[in-house]
Structure 1
Amino acid sequence: MGREIFQGDPPVPGLPQAVKVGDTIYVSGTTAHAEGREPSPDMAEQMRAAYAKIGEALAHFGAGLGDVVEQTVFVTDMPAALAARHVRMETYGKAGDGLPASATVEVTALGRPGLMVEIKVTARLC
């Protein structure tokens, strides 16, 4: 099986945004970072921005957020993440209707100042 790479826009040298092998897509940790802009100080807004970027990466391979089977969410503030968990339902739909397996992990910091959430997912094309 060959590997297909999606670099993202703008590309980050040495770090593909997503890799497809067979019918599985692995999306790298994705944040609300946008070149030249400060991230929103709101956890829910950062989550929405990260999910939007993940959706773009999946679309490159003909998939969507409904194809996500697993996610790991890294957060710097667990209470804020719990308060913003409704964003997960906005993204994936109602409980039981295709929610991916999930883990949320609190970390001390992410790659850039101001970032509060980083999300990585695995999707499967059926």
Structure 2
Amino acid sequence: MAASQPLNKDTAYWGVPWEDAYGYPQARRVGNEIHVSGQFNHDQDGNLVAPAPLDTDGRPSDFSAMGEQMRASYANIAKLLALYGATLQDVVEETLYVLDMDAAFAVVGKVRKAAYGTERPQCASNIIGVSRLAQRPQLIEIACKAVIGAGASGR
């Protein structure tokens, strides 16, 4: 499944089951702003990329896939933004939700810089530790807001 805009040009979907179950689009454009719902480590078919192994209670037992999950999340954001003619350089604010702050801090700088293609990404950034995310093997989720054309304004 590729990101698409089946209902109208202002909303985007992956076509994954949880969109219908929960009832939401992956992204929505309002004027020149794009609001991207939390993106995580799934591929085009909705399969998890680098899922964390779970313990007997169904909680992640190893956080070493944080970087790979983070890269997949940024790749999904980039694909959604492209539907509107935007790129990661147009992102003005992001929020990272993570299960383990230490594992996130070990990789976040390198992964963010690579995703944004610069040593100093020009977007406000928040990182919040949470106790659980939507998919049990998920370690990170990233939501963001982009402004079309912000990347071209000399940021």
Q: Give the TM-score, by structure 2 length.
A: 0.73
Gaps of 5+ in 2: 1-7, 53-64, 150-155
- Structure 2 counterpart of 1:123, one-letter code: A
Taking the aligned partners of 1:24 and 1:37, their CA distance within structure 2 comes to: 28
Q: Report what 1:16 is aligned to.
A: 25
Between the aligned residues of both structures, percent identity stands at 38
Aligned-CA RMSD value: 1.9
Aligned pair in 2 of structure 1 residues 116, 5: CA closer, same or farther (>3 Å)?
same
For this pair of structures, how many residues does the alignment match?
123
Identify the structure with the greater strand proportion.
Answer: 1
Q: Is contact 1:17-1:27 (8 Å) kept?
A: yes
Q: Is contact 1:18-1:25 (8 Å) kept?
A: yes
Gaps of 5+ in 1: none
- What is the CA deviation profile of residues 63-91 of structure 1, one whole-angstrom value per residue up to 9, with x for unaligned ones? 01110000000000000000011101111
- What is the CA deviation profile of residues 24-76 of structure 1, one whole-angstrom value per residue up to 9, with x for unaligned ones? 00000011034344634310000000000000100011101110000000000
Q: Report what 1:88 is aligned to.
A: 112
User: Which entry has the higher C-alpha Rg, 1 or 2?
Assistant: 2
Higher-RCO chain (CA-CA 8 Å, sequence separation at least 6): 1
- Structure 1 counterpart of 2:119, one-letter code: K
Query: Would you say 1:54 and 2:54 are equivalent positions?
Result: no
Correspondences of 1:1-126 after superposition (within 5 Å): 4-10=10-16, 12-13=19-20, 14-34=23-43, 35-37=46-48, 39-41=50-52, 42-85=65-108, 86-92=110-116, 93-95=118-120, 98-126=121-149
Aligned pair in 2 of structure 1 residues 65, 36: CA closer, same or farther (>3 Å)?
closer
